[in-house]
Structure 1
Amino acid sequence: MPQPRLFLVYEPEKACLDRLMNQGHPRDRAVEISSYLAQSTDLAPEFAEIWREASKRGITFTPLELDEATAAIASADPANSLVWTLTDGIAYFRGGTAPALARLAGLGTVGADDSLFALCQDKFRSGAVLSALGLPVPQAGLARDGHWLAEPPASPNGWFVKPNRLGAKIGIWSDSHCRDLSQALELSRRVFSHYRDDVVVQPYVAGRNVRASFLDVTGHADISSLGVFLVESGADFQTMADSLALYGDTGAAARATGVYAEPELVPLAATQPEADAEIRRIAARLMAGLGLRDVFSIDLRVDADGTVHLIEFEVCPGLPCFDFRAYCRAQWSMSLAEAMAETAARRLAS
């Protein structure tokens, strides 16, 4: 019988950059947008290590660029093949097609089903679904190029404006927290001019940033395996510039020059155990109500009094990012390569 195979499907930055420029995006904007895919750039040097760890567990590891995935997945044996999607996207990025291709070919996948890959990439629609599930997500308005498609609710603390379908922190600037709705509409014009995207306009939520990460390494992990960490960067929120400084070529240059600084990760339970427990209840609700499984992350804000606000969820978290690596070490005492190989081995065995 052929050896079980793990396909890791990813969209390269360069392929995305070329496609965006062919669609008429100016080069500097195309570079910003394609930078979201820096995790595929960052993980590529570790493909050999992942291959070794997978081999130890009797698995053949095959990284696949997205444009090669259709033929490879279609010809794979559904009985012993598994697809793990590294980079997602439904608009500017195309990785969200990978789990759909796997389903079409009858292959198993690591992660949620393909419908959630589409939902989480549309912040306005996903927020509506999260609200319908009774989760503590800020209500949102939607604007396009200076015009309201849906007006946001009143907010005494101002509003936060972010692109609706762009990944990472692209299009989030230091003035994305605005004090009046005319500023919000002006930001929507800027986002539309730069990126051709709508903006979500939510009441600004004060508090500290929290990232919750999950990977089912054992094949039967429960909510106790969720890692919940305060992300202490010294800033109220992460801008596009901050994000670019952590990943890809920009992050590599910062590391080479000694100016790279990762945010500090602090277990939330150490200071706000009630908020930690509430976040675990939220995650359990997402798993039961939406079908999150295997691997995901959640972004939240926590007030000083412990009130939790759910900002968004991600079914395709940045595996090589500092926070997910730290989670693998803290929760599973494994490197990222070990954790990925073990997760795949358990899934293939079941």
Structure 2
Amino acid sequence: MSRLVLVYEPEDACRTRLARQGFPPHHALEISSYLAQSTDLALEFPAIDKACAARGVDFVPVPLDEARSVLTGVDPAATLVWTLTDGIAYFRGGAAPAMARLGGLHTIGADDSLFALCQDKFRSGAVLSALGLPVPPAGLARDGKWLVEPPVSSSGYFVKPNRLGAKIGIWPDSRCRRAEDALELSRRVHSAYRDDVVVQPYVAGRNVRASFLGVDPDAGVEALGVFFVDSGGDFQTMADSMALYGDTGAAAKAADAYDEPDLVPVAASQPGADRRIREIARALMEALGVKDVFSMDFRVEADDTVHLIEFEVCPGLPCFDFRAYCRSQWGLSLPDAMAETAARRLMAAAST
């Protein structure tokens, strides 16, 4: 029987490892919140299992630390590996597609080299810039010292950790006026998380999330979902993100502190920006090999100027925006969308 192996890194395993490395509990909690989608999606494993079984696929969710033993000795022709949570530094999910490649197994998603690239914002930005894509130029700082000085900016700067996601280390004052303020933020980030910071000129505009799941293996950029994400503020902070997902998100919902952002199709008001975003997605797919499942974050100005902020090869599948995308683009719930994607890939693999 064909099988879908979903590999994920749990939040609690990450917290335990960070504690051994000497991180205080509150910072370990913040860092591990990046893995909240593994907590949220686990609640739907029965629904995914049912959706897969209806399509003749055996669903096998596997914590990362058990993946090596599970993937050893399986039939490469009948096994598909889907990596749910990525990571190369604080998180370790990038090992899963590499293990799959060593075993000659089929995978959902990009090549494992891209898992490493998109987790390092500074290096990723350099590659995207070399491709001629509209990424803000960046400086890099470590604990109050410039490794690469940022360009002079009349609009001020935006400061974010280099290898952390889910808005970890982004505070209300992460937009600052002076380069000296950015260096002070780099000291705070290094003290809390031991990470460098990317320092970019602040770019105006509304936040946009572009999501993609190739339920149809032949789907292209026409299947991209492009939405403004209006959260009521200029940008989301770590506190905003932690209130939406995982263990901390569940607590926020129980306390009625959950405020889901609004999603508005970009094409409805700025079709030119929508077209440009799809052109950028096509460039990533053709030049970098981004495929199957991914997301991109943008800032879009009123005159249709588009700024590419970053891309992810492990988007938050159980997040509100990705669920909405599956419904609007494919007419499927998240479990059915995942099962249908896997079943079609396994069918294609069996015929080759």
Give the shorter-chain TM-score range. Answer: over 0.9
Distance across 2 between alignment mates of 1:34 and 1:141: 26
Q: What is the CA-CA distance between 1:260 and the residue it aligns to?
A: 1.4
For residue 84 of structure 1, what is the aligned residue in structure 2?
82
SS in 1 for 2:4: strand
Q: Could you tell me which amino acid in structure 1 is paired with residue 69 of structure 2?
A: A
Q: Does 1:313 align with 2:311?
A: yes
Q: Could you tell me which amino acid in structure 2 is paired with residue 321 of structure 1?
A: C
Q: Does 1:110 align with 2:115?
A: no
Distance across 1 between alignment mates of 2:127 and 2:85: 23
For residue 344 of structure 1, what is the aligned residue in structure 2?
342
Distance across 1 between alignment mates of 2:92 and 2:13: 11
**Counterpart among 41, 44, 66 of residue 42 in structure 2:** 44
For residue 64 of structure 2, what is the aligned residue in structure 1?
66
For residue 134 of structure 2, what is the aligned residue in structure 1?
136
Q: Which moved more, 1:212-221 or 1:256-265?
A: 256-265
SS in 1 for 2:85: coil
Q: Is the 8 A contact 2:243 2:257 kept in 1?
A: no
The within-5 A match list for 1:133-212 is 133-212=131-210
Distance across 2 between alignment mates of 1:29 and 1:223: 38
For residue 11 of structure 1, what is the aligned residue in structure 2?
9
Q: Is the 8 A contact 2:4 2:82 kept in 1?
A: yes
Distance across 2 between alignment mates of 1:41 and 1:83: 19
Distance across 2 between alignment mates of 1:150 and 1:336: 42
Distance across 1 between alignment mates of 2:160 and 2:258: 25
**Counterpart among 47, 54, 57 of residue 56 in structure 1:** 54
Q: What is the CA-CA distance between 1:258 and the residue it aligns to?
A: 2.8
Q: Is the 8 A contact 2:158 2:174 kept in 1?
A: yes
Question: What's the TM-score once normalised by structure 2's chain length?
Answer: 0.98
Q: Which moved more, 1:252-261 or 1:68-77?
A: 252-261
For residue 274 of structure 2, what is the aligned residue in structure 1?
276
For residue 285 of structure 1, what is the aligned residue in structure 2?
283
Q: Could you tell me which amino acid in structure 2 is paired with residue 57 of structure 1?
A: R
Q: What is the CA-CA distance between 1:349 and the residue it aligns to?
A: 0.7
For residue 21 of structure 1, what is the aligned residue in structure 2?
19
SS in 2 for 1:79: helix
**Counterpart among 213, 227, 235 of residue 225 in structure 2:** 227
Q: What is the CA-CA distance between 1:242 and the residue it aligns to?
A: 0.3
Distance across 2 between alignment mates of 1:226 and 1:89: 24
Distance across 2 between alignment mates of 1:220 and 1:342: 13
* Superposition RMSD in Å: 0.6
Q: What is the CA-CA distance between 1:218 and the residue it aligns to?
A: 1.2
Distance across 2 between alignment mates of 1:96 and 1:245: 26
Q: What is the CA-CA distance between 1:64 and the residue it aligns to?
A: 0.2
Q: Could you tell me which amino acid in structure 1 is paired with residue 185 of structure 2?
A: L
Question: What's the TM-score once normalised by structure 1's chain length?
Answer: 0.99
Distance across 2 between alignment mates of 1:181 and 1:215: 39
For residue 214 of structure 2, what is the aligned residue in structure 1?
216
Distance across 1 between alignment mates of 2:253 and 2:24: 28
Q: What is the CA-CA distance between 1:257 and the residue it aligns to?
A: 2.9
SS in 2 for 1:236: coil
SS in 2 for 1:153: coil
Q: Which moved more, 1:69-78 or 1:289-298?
A: 69-78
SS in 1 for 2:44: helix
**Counterpart among 33, 36, 39 of residue 31 in structure 2:** 33
Q: Could you tell me which amino acid in structure 2 is paired with residue 234 of structure 1?
A: G
Distance across 2 between alignment mates of 1:285 and 1:115: 17
For residue 327 of structure 2, what is the aligned residue in structure 1?
329
Give the gaps of 5 or more residues in structure 1: none
- Aligned pair count reads 348
Q: Could you tell me which amino acid in structure 1 is paired with residue 294 of structure 2?
A: F
